[in-house]
Chains A and B, each alone.
Chain A
Amino acid sequence: MKNLIKINVTLQRLLLPPKLIHWKTPILVSLFFFMLSVLERENEALKNTLADCSWLFLTIGISWRTSQEPFIVGEVSLSPWVTGALICVFLWENLTSDRQSLAVIFWPLISVCLAVIMEFIRSGAKLQTTPPLVRPMFLVIILLHALISCLLAFHFIIQGWMAAYPSLLAEDFSKSGFVVSFRKQSLTNSRGIAIVKIMEEQLRIKTQTQSWEEVAAWLIAVSRKQVFMRDEMLKKLAPVAENSRWDIKTPIIQGQSLYKIELLARWLGPTTQPGGYILSKYCEVAKVGNRGSVKCNPLKISYFKSKNRAN
């Protein structure tokens, strides 16, 4: 019983504000809204609005608190940056996933705007002929934050490129004057390996599920370019921009109840090898009983040397 009373007293001292205009007030209001939003189960829109209000008051409370004692470095309080971060977390949650990077990009700009507003309020909101707001030092800080925003935007552009062209990880980044790669360069990172593997799978599944005549007819159609293995393969791959830069060829040689097929994937996108590289797998489909059996060699990597260009 005594322990409960002690806990009650410490909680009260922690949570309750000593006077009305105190930083703990918005935090209590935020907790109140949060509990309301947890209890509201049916109405999604209302729940989201209550959660947003709770975050808003939490931001106000933390912003107030960080403009006071332990958070002041030199003459500047950390409040604009912390508040900016909280606002950006709010934006992150509410943006669609392809625009979420905007929340990070705008963090420096939002922080510096808040810093300007707080400085304005602190200097008494007086508009003089040379307001302290346009001191050169202040302009330098504003422009520095804008520059950081631009650099963050550049970072996200590069991440977008890497996501749209995953096979670039197979290239050598050491000659680049702009980026640093933390993964060692190796052609095994290229998506071409997955592409060739999917085509081999396709071949095996076909021979296992269909009879020899059907497989032979299909292979002849492929060799006559009436059917393309590329189309079926693209259905299984993630649709990224680089798919159009893969050149897929499947030359077929017909023999005595034997078909020799070569699965070729050639990379035409940005690369350090002039002319690109080729990943190929050589397979034989032979007639065994009524079905075909597939035997494949291991994957081969070769580089395309153009005979027309003088190196």
Chain B
Amino acid sequence: MLPTVLPLRAILSQLLILWLSIAIESWFFQKLLKITPKTSVEDAAVINLFSTCIGWLIFLIWEGLLPQEKIEQLMGYILLGQWQPISPLLIFAAFLIYSISFLLKWKGLELLEFLVRGNQKKSLEPVLPEIFNLARRPKKFSQLSTKPTVVLIAHTCSHCIILLVLYLESQ
């Protein structure tokens, strides 16, 4: 018996969101961290996939723990598109999702750097930025080039654009 209800929209939306995030964040990494396009795309891909997988895992575990009543509300939202009215709880949940995914991306990036480039990077880092800073770059810009700040900026931008796209899609 073939299933009549398939989560195709969810799969397409997920792929679209990932694509947009990877494109936007790799652009930011490339411009602000001064790394090659290939590396920036790889890094952005890894951290976005990492945070998406962890997000799905949390959702799957949370769904397994819900009582039957809440599951019916969840079904109403997922299967029938019924929104609960905007409540403070919802806004808090949105903010929580934003913060946790930022943390996952930041820590994921550090983990990635450690695993892949490990010892190499440590020896190069103190030398190069010094040279660049003394030469031309204004002070303000150099403050923006620390990893967590760049990840935060890239993450916020990609989230905003994704919310915009989702909002336009639902109209």
Assess whether B81 is in contact with A151, with CB atoms less than 8 Å apart: no
A143, A162, A269: which has the most chain B beta carbons within 10 Å?
A: A143
* Segment from B5-13, B92-100, B135-143 that makes contact with A: B5-13
* Segment from A91-99, A131-139, A213-221 that makes contact with B: A131-139
Assess whether B75 is in contact with A270, with CB atoms less than 8 Å apart: yes
Report if B146 contacts A (CB, 8 A): no
Assess whether A129 is in contact with B79, with CB atoms less than 8 Å apart: no
Q: Which of B156-171 contact A (CB under 8 A)?
A: 169-170
Residues of B within 8 A of A182 (CB): 4-6
Report if A154 contacts B (CB, 8 A): yes
Report if B34 contacts A (CB, 8 A): no
Report if A284 contacts B (CB, 8 A): no
Q: Which of A135, A136, A269 contacts B72 (CB 8 A)?
A: A269
A170 to chain B, nearest CB (A): 11
B65 to chain A, nearest CB (A): 13
In the bound assembly, the distance between CA atoms of A269 and B14 in angstroms comes to: 28
Residues of B within 8 A of A154 (CB): 7, 10, 56, 60
Residues of A within 8 A of B116 (CB): 130, 134-136
Q: Which of B6, B56, B81 contacts A147 (CB 8 A)?
A: B56
A46 to chain B, nearest CB (A): 35
In the bound assembly, the distance between CA atoms of A269 and B56 in angstroms comes to: 26
Residues of A within 8 A of B4 (CB): 162, 169, 181-183
Which chain A residue lies CB-closest to B119? A129
* Known contacts A151-B14, A154-B60, A270-B72, A181 near B5 by CB under 8 Å: yes
Report if B145 contacts A (CB, 8 A): no
Report if A144 contacts B (CB, 8 A): yes
Report if A177 contacts B (CB, 8 A): yes
Report if B63 contacts A (CB, 8 A): yes
In the bound assembly, the distance between CA atoms of A162 and B4 in angstroms comes to: 9
Assess whether A179 is in contact with B118, with CB atoms less than 8 Å apart: no
Q: Interface readout for B37-48 with A: 1 if CB under 8 Å, 0 if not?
A: 001001101100
Taking A161-B71, A180-B7 as known contacts, 19 extra A-B pairs with beta carbons closer than 8 A to each other, sorted by chain A number, are A129-B118, A136-B43, A140-B42, A146-B49, A155-B6, A162-B3, A168-B75, A168-B80, A173-B80, A175-B80, A175-B81, A176-B79, A177-B10, A177-B170, A178-B13, A179-B10, A270-B75, A270-B79, A270-B82
Q: Which residues of A contact B (CB under 8 A)?
A: 129-130, 134-137, 139-140, 143-144, 146-147, 150-151, 153-155, 157-159, 161-162, 165, 168-169, 171-173, 175-183, 241, 245, 269-272
5 A-B pairs (CB sep. < 8 Å): A139-B112, A144-B49, A151-B11, A161-B79, A178-B78
